[in-house]
């Protein structure tokens, strides 16, 4: 048994033990002293016997040690129990639900707030399977239920999730949860389970949906004037309002470039809101993967030549047709290639590879650019986030490109990850089942961005 510092200090201090414990302890010790003495007296039949006196002396020493040990153990056990009761009170007083899951995926702790949120009592949930009430039923997580559970149980760091876990209550209602997941490890680093702190995120989800609807509406309203600006600028460049000087043309081309960037930003907002609102349709058709990649990379030929970059492509011949939504696949690889070109210095190299591995198609884009600082890597797919080494050197980014890419990959049943070293380069990987993307019904398609 290992005692903590508060328990050890308690051994050497005189804290009050309840009277009942004192009385019981006194009678136990008294019996332990008198019973052996009585037996010794009967055996030696005399108080003056040398054997009796020597035995009594040894017995006295042993009893002193026993009394001190028993007293200390009693105090430590009592204080330990007090600490446990206090911790239990703290746990039951937490306003969020707390659930502890062991390595077998069974629930071994369920606090009072969890009972209120779910309707299930501690008795109902103790040793129940985690997936009995918790599930990964967000629109882009349904096919990864088991994988997500394994990921949670093997987590090495605390993580938060605001959209990927739902809870089925005792009444059958489905509640979206905001969760914080922390791994439990012993002193040897062996996983013992996870602690999941959760709350009902229904209200937050409604607020986020309202924001997405507002962004969608505002973006739609911006598209019309932007389209008019493009038309008017083209008319000016065609000379319909009179001949332009070279300086005037230069100014108008600059305005047109800014209008295109604004249009791309509006399309980004609309695409993100369509994913969030669940209105994005994923319509599948078979395409040659080589053709899809070549089309996307060809859009940047001029920019690649300007920066004197070397573009390499390696597409495995074992990959035939690929069932996908062309617009979605194009948007994913277009954003990744655009970033590789943007953040690679002149004379650098960009490699695009595609291969089939264990019933999955894996596409990678590698650059020899500035890389992503290690401290920024966990946030790279966050909304409006840009790595600190890109903000001064490449100020035109908006921090939405990779966020949208992650949404689209997840929504269509894929995975995305990356490796990077600052000053050396970055490789982005994304993969899909060899059978293709996941089909989804919707009433909106993805808007194409200007390369």
**Is residue 439 domain-resident?**
no
pLDDT digits (tens, 9 = 90+) for 413-422: 999 999 999 9
162 and 293 belong to one structural domain: no
**CATH code, 105:** 3.30.450.20
Give the pLDDT of residue 139.
40
**CATH code, 348:** 3.30.565.10
The string of DSSP letters for 184-241 reads: EE-TT--EEEEEEEEEE-HHHHHHHHHHHHHHHHHHHHHHHHHHHHHHHHHHHHTTTT
Domain range for 63 is 5-93
109 and 83 belong to one structural domain: no
Q: Which of 228, 250, 277 is the last residue of a domain?
A: 277
103 and 11 belong to one structural domain: no
Question: Which DSSP state fits 378?
Answer: G
pLDDT digits (tens, 9 = 90+) for 2-45: 434 444 343 334 344 444 555 555 556 655 655 565 555 555 55
pLDDT digits (tens, 9 = 90+) for 323-374: 999 999 999 999 999 999 999 999 999 999 999 988 899 999 999 999 999 9
362 and 423 belong to one structural domain: yes
Helical (H) or strand (E) element with 159: strand 159-161
313 and 417 belong to one structural domain: yes
**Is residue 408 domain-resident?**
yes
**Is residue 354 domain-resident?**
yes
Tokens 């070109």 found at: 341
**Is residue 240 domain-resident?**
yes
d(CA 289, CA 151): 30
261 and 321 belong to one structural domain: no
**Is residue 246 domain-resident?**
yes
Max alpha carbon distance in the chain (Å)? Answer: 136
d(CA 135, CA 187): 30
**Is residue 443 domain-resident?**
no
Give the pLDDT of residue 131.
75
**CATH code, 214:** 1.10.287
Would you say 403 and 351 are in contact if contact means Cβ atoms under 8 Å apart? no
pLDDT digits (tens, 9 = 90+) for 188-221: 878 788 888 888 888 888 887 888 888 778 777 8
d(CA 256, CA 231): 10
What percent of the chain shows pLDDT beyond 90? 27
210 and 345 belong to one structural domain: no
**Is residue 440 domain-resident?**
no
266 and 291 belong to one structural domain: no
**Is residue 449 domain-resident?**
no
d(CA 419, CA 110): 38
pLDDT digits (tens, 9 = 90+) for 83-92: 777 777 777 7
137 and 186 belong to one structural domain: yes
Give the pLDDT of residue 23.
54
User: Which has more confidence, 22 or 164?
Assistant: 164
293 and 350 belong to one structural domain: yes
Q: Report the mean per-residue pLDDT for the chain.
A: 79
In the numeric block, which tokens belong to residue 63?
Answer: 């009893």
114 and 141 belong to one structural domain: yes
Q: What are the residues whose beta carbons fall under 8 Å from the beta carbon of 288, sequence distance 6 or more?
A: 320, 321, 322
Overall pTM > 0.95: no
Q: Which of 277, 312, 333 is the last residue of a domain?
A: 277
Task: State how many domains the chain has.
Answer: 4
267 and 297 belong to one structural domain: no
Q: Which of 200, 223, 248 is the last residue of a domain?
A: 200
């Amino acid at each position: 048994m290992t005692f903590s510092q508060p328990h050890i200090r308690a051994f050497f201090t005189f804290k009050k033990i309840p009277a009942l414990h004192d009385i019981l302890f006194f009678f136990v010790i008294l019996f332990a002293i008198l019973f052996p003495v009585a037996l010794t007296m009967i055996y030696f039949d005399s108080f003056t016997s040398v054997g009796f006196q020597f035995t009594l002396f040894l017995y006295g020493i042993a009893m002193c040690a026993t009394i001190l040990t028993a007293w200390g153990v009693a105090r430590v056990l009592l204080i330990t129990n007090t600490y446990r009761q206090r911790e239990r009170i703290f746990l039951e007083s937490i306003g969020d639900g707390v659930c502890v899951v062991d390595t077998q995926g069974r629930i071994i702790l369920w606090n009072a707030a969890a009972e209120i949120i779910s309707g299930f009592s501690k008795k109902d949930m103790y040793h129940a399977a985690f997936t009995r009430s918790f599930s990964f039923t967000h629109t882009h997580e349904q096919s990864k239920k088991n994988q997500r559970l394994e990921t949670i149980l093997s987590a090495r760091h605390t993580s938060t999730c605001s959209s990927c876990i739902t809870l089925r209550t005792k009444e059958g209602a489905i509640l979206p949860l905001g969760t914080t997941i922390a791994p439990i490890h012993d002193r040897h680093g062996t996983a013992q389970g996870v602690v999941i702190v959760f709350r009902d995120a229904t209200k937050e989800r409604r607020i986020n949906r309202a924001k997405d609807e507002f962004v969608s509406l505002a973006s739609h309203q911006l598209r019309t004037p932007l389209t008019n600006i493009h038309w008017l600028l083209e008319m000016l460049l065609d000379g319909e309002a009179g001949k332009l000087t070279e300086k005037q043309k230069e100014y108008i081309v600059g305005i047109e470039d800014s209008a295109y960037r604004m249009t791309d930003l509006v399309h980004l907002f609309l695409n993100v809101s369509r994913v969030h609102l669940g209105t994005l349709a994923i319509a599948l058709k078979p395409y040659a993967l080589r053709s899809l990649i070549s089309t996307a990379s060809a859009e940047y030929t001029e920019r690649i030549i300007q920066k004197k970059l070397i573009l390499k492509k390696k597409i495995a011949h074992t990959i035939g047709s690929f069932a996908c939504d062309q617009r979605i696949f194009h948007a994913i690889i277009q954003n990744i290639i655009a970033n590789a070109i943007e953040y690679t210095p002149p004379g650098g190299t960009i490699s695009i590879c595609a291969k089939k591995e264990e019933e999955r198609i894996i596409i990678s884009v590698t650059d020899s650019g500035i890389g992503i600082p290690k401290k920024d890597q966990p946030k790279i797919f966050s909304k409006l986030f840009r790595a600190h080494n890109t903000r001064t050197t490449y100020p035109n980014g908006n921090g939405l490109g990779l966020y949208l890419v992650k949404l689209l990959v997840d929504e269509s049943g894929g995975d995305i990850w990356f490796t990077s070293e600052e000053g050396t380069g970055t490789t982005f990987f994304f993969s899909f089942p060899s059978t293709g993307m996941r089909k989804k019904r919707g009433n909106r398609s993805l808007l194409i961005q200007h390369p």
